[in-house]
Structure 1
């Protein structure tokens, strides 16, 4: 299922895996490249598991349309409620070491489905993106199939396929 309104897009998938196992995969930055449906996420710079809101984890990225091709993002954990929800803001680290966030977030919500299954909802939200960024970036910056692709990859990972 795919829903889209003005300021966010989401997709859902049900897997026959308990939520704590799904959450553990999402909380491990080393799995994010395998989950990503765009192929932009390359390698985690920070490999420590995500354990608290406010934690920063950086990722090496590649995008053919990016001015540098290879670039790095700094993500800030916004919600971390195991095994129910995990989400982060994506931004960049400036030359002085300060972080700047664009206002878009990624969030996974996990709900029980049957005795050992999990209903996963992935939401990309850009409602907090300021106008000046919207003038040069189109939202969402990926095709409609991206969230479903990511959930499919996540499902394969957690199912051990």
Structure 2
């Protein structure tokens, strides 16, 4: 069976609430992005499933600068944040891949964070157009390392 997702986990020396604060502020996503494609994000905090947050992106294979509308598909305070990215002018149904952060407290001041990149529900046309995974596990690991640094303030 062909893989439909990749993931990476890391123990971060911070409480889940502090990590969730970083994750739910799109303006911080360029700081924690391991892919190098996020340029900037809005400073409006993500609050619930159904929210849409905007990210300014840059990737050569996408033609340079572009804007991404991200539709929040999972939200559980201090535990889960998931979204489906959609280049502006497309719909969730047009794309269907998803990013998800899961937070598991390990005591009061440490948290295991798992980052999952899934294309399980990607539109068949997108699967033909792009070669999934577009990013590899090293990108996820780098994102978690940057998240740890952002939470610690370094």
Could you tell me which of 123, 135, 146 is aligned with 2:139?
146
Give the aligned partner of residue 156 of structure 1.
Answer: 149
Is 1:114 aligned to residue 107 of structure 2?
Answer: yes
Distance in 2, matches of 1:110 and 1:128, equals 23
Q: Equivalent of 1:66, from 62, 66, 72? A: 62
Give the corresponding residue for 1:132: 125
Number of equivalenced pairs: 151
Cα-to-partner distance string for 1:111-154 (whole Å, 9 max, x where unaligned): 01133110000000100012111111011112331000000000
Could you tell me how far apart the structure 1 residues matched to 2:138 and 2:123 are? 25
How many Å separate the matches in 2 of 1:70 and 1:93?
Answer: 12
Partners of 1:17 and 1:37 in 2: CA distance: 20
Counterpart selection for 2:12 from 10, 15, 19: 15
- Equivalent position SS for 2:46: coil
1:56 corresponds in structure 2 to 52
TM-score of the superposed pair, with normalisation by structure 2:
0.94
Match of 1:84 in 2: 79
Q: How many Å apart are 1:109 and its aligned residue?
A: 0.3
Report if the CA contact (8 A) 2:39-2:56 is conserved: yes
> Shift of residue 49 of structure 1?
0.2
Q: Give how far 1:66 is off.
A: 1.6
2:23 aligned partner? 26
- Give SS of 1:49's match: coil
Q: Distance in 1 between matches of 2:119 and 2:58?
A: 21
> Aligned partners of 2:79 and 2:68: how far apart in 1?
25
**Structure 2: runs of 5 or more not aligned:** none
More helix as a share of residues: 2
